[in-house]
Amino acid sequence: MLIITLYMRMFPAMRVKIVGLDPHQQYYIAMDIVPVDNKRYRYVYHSSKWMVAGNADSPVPPRVYIHPDSLASGDTWMRQVVSFDKLKLTNNELEDQGHIILHSMHKYQPRVHVIRKDFSSELSPTKPVPTGEGVKTFSFPETVFTTVTAYQNQQITRLKIDRNPFAKGFRDSGRNRTGLEAIMETYAFWRPPVRTLTFEDFTNMQKQQGILFLKQRDHMISYTTQDA
Amino acid sequence: MLIITLYMRMFPAMRVKIVGLDPHQQYYIAMDIVPVDNKRYRYVYHSSKWMVAGNADSPVPPRVYIHPDSLASGDTWMRQVVSFDKLKLTNNELEDQGHIILHSMHKYQPRVHVIRKDFSSELSPTKPVPTGEGVKTFSFPETVFTTVTAYQNQQITRLKIDRNPFAKGFRDSGRNRTGLEAIMETYAFWRPPVRTLTFEDFTNMQKQQGILFLKQRDHMISYTTQDA
DNA sequence: GGTTTAGCACCTAGGTGCAAAGGT
DNA sequence: ACCTTTGCACCTAGGTGCTAAACC
């Protein structure tokens, strides 16, 4: 019996813990991202809600992100938390660097696939994941997200800046600080190590709608949603 | 029949072109580095030669660098130049980050192994490469090198600085230059793109003895030799 | 005395939000 | 009016030789 337990950190990446594999069997692990519905959305600021704003753009053929540790044994996969933090996204339909192509302002659901090696002669970034015996697919409703090219909500921005090491330059104590202030920060105050955004962070902000940031720069910055 | 053609760039990395594989068969490609003799060397500056300076330190169990594109089909391997530029070295015998451990001031020979998948149940970074049917090993006498922790020869230093993008700060036009000079360099003079050091570079410097730089920082910086 | 290390400034490479400009 | 792109300053992460100090 195969079980995936969601080790829920949606920022910056989806991470899963996998149990129940055959230790000696070889597996690929892959992710794809599928539309939730055929609607386009817009964010209504005063009500802090995503509203339907017409029909979806015509979908692009879905791409598959094959986890870079593939191919590995069940034993190896189960020994670690499998993180998808290298997955990159784009809204550029001409992209051919292996990024996953999505439309902005749409809702999507990431899926995790566990694929037994002896079944996967056709696994490819540009082909749909095979189905049937030897392939298990998992999706978690709490990971549905909405894509954007600019943050719609300042709470999201603040969480991102606080949690992502690369955004350190925008932290309150990092912006417009003097040399002395930088020294003070280092020695006088203790700051906990940077950690990634967790499911609970979102719960604590009143089930804020999750969004996903999507520029042509193509960096992966994903958030959980709490639509339920 | 399996043939490896050495695509000779020993700086910063050994690169090989492989032909003659079965396109549909799966292969690992790996490198290890073995002692050439049981001597320790020192560089005699006035004669520009490496001289024997006693017996070798006791050898450490050799480690294997498995090329990160492994496992791949013969077709995939033959389609590209296989580069070992991510291989890292150290003189720290306690290292456990998968680096290859060498002694300084010793002579070594890198070897390339092509290993058919159905033969390699025991391939591991810490175990010797298996031998026999399904495993082919190649070594090239011109790639023998001597390890050092500091450059013994200024010609080597200069080549390194000129060719390695990361040493750009030490180039003549990059050191102590003013803002104006930096602009001049960009607009007024044309500099060819940085390229890696080739076999021919060494030939042109009167068969300078190759050395290999080996700090605990563990970066790969290898040079060809021209002892022949 | 020769060899090795540690700290440094200077690079490459690339991930951030911001603000202004561009698109539709 | 709203969405997207571009150029930017500011980060992380890590690869360089140099120098002075430390190690034998």
- Coil, strand or helix at A154: helix
- D2 C1' closest Cα residue: A42
* Residue B120 pLDDT class (50, 70, 90 cuts): low
Q: Is the CB of A70 under 7 A from strand C?
A: no
Tell whether the model's pLDDT for residue A112 goes beyond 80.
yes
Among A6-20, B4-18, B43-57, B113-127, the least confident range: B4-18
Using one digit for the tens of pLDDT, what is the confidence trace for B130-171? 888 888 888 877 777 888 888 887 877 887 788 788 888 888
* Residue A120 pLDDT class (50, 70, 90 cuts): low
Q: Please name the nucleotide lying closest to A152, CA to C1'.
A: D3
pLDDT at B35: 93
Domain-located, residue A35:
yes
Using one digit for the tens of pLDDT, what is the confidence trace for A129-185? 888 888 888 887 777 788 888 888 787 788 778 877 888 888 875 344 444 444 444
The residue with greater pLDDT, B104 or B201, is: B104
Share of chain B above pLDDT 70, in %: 68
Q: Whole domain around residue A15: which residue ranges?
A: 2-148
pLDDT at A40: 93
- What Å value separates CA A145 and C1' D6? 26
For chain B, the domain total comes to 1
- CB within 7 A of nucleic chain D: A 42-43, 53, 91-92, 104-105, 148-150, 165-166, 168-169, 174, 177, 215-217; B 12, 88, 150-151, 157, 160-161, 164, 166-167, 169-170, 213, 217, 219-221
Tell whether the model's pLDDT for residue A220 goes beyond 80.
no
- What Å value separates CA A212 and C1' D10? 22
| Average pLDDT over every residue of A77-93 | 83
Look at residues A134, A135, A164, A119 and name the one whose alpha carbon lies nearest to residue A32: A135
Domain-located, residue A81:
yes
* Phi (first) and psi of residue A46, to 5 degrees: -70, -25
Domain-located, residue A76:
yes
Nucleotides of chain D touched by protein CB (<7 A): 2-6, 9-19
- Write the DSSP string, B21-36: --TTSEEEEEEEEEES
Domain-located, residue B218:
no
- Assign residue B105 a region: left if phi > 0, alpha if psi is -120 to 50, beta otherwise? left
* Phi (first) and psi of residue A179, to 5 degrees: -55, -40
Nucleotides of chain C touched by protein CB (<7 A): 2-6, 9-19
- What Å value separates CA B161 and C1' D23? 28
CB burial of residue B211 (10 Å; 0-12, 13-18, 19+) = buried
Q: Is the CB of B104 under 7 A from strand C?
A: yes
- D4 C1' closest Cα residue: A149
CATH number assigned to the domain comprising residue A74:
2.60.40.820
- Give the H or E element holding residue A155: helix A154-163
Domain-located, residue A78:
yes
- What Å value separates CA B42 and C1' C2? 9
Q: Is the CB of A217 under 7 A from strand C?
A: yes
| Average pLDDT over every residue of B174-202 | 41
Domain-located, residue A116:
yes
Domain-located, residue A46:
yes
Q: Please name the nucleotide lying closest to A88, CA to C1'.
A: C15
| Average pLDDT over every residue of A192-218 | 40
Domain-located, residue B162:
no
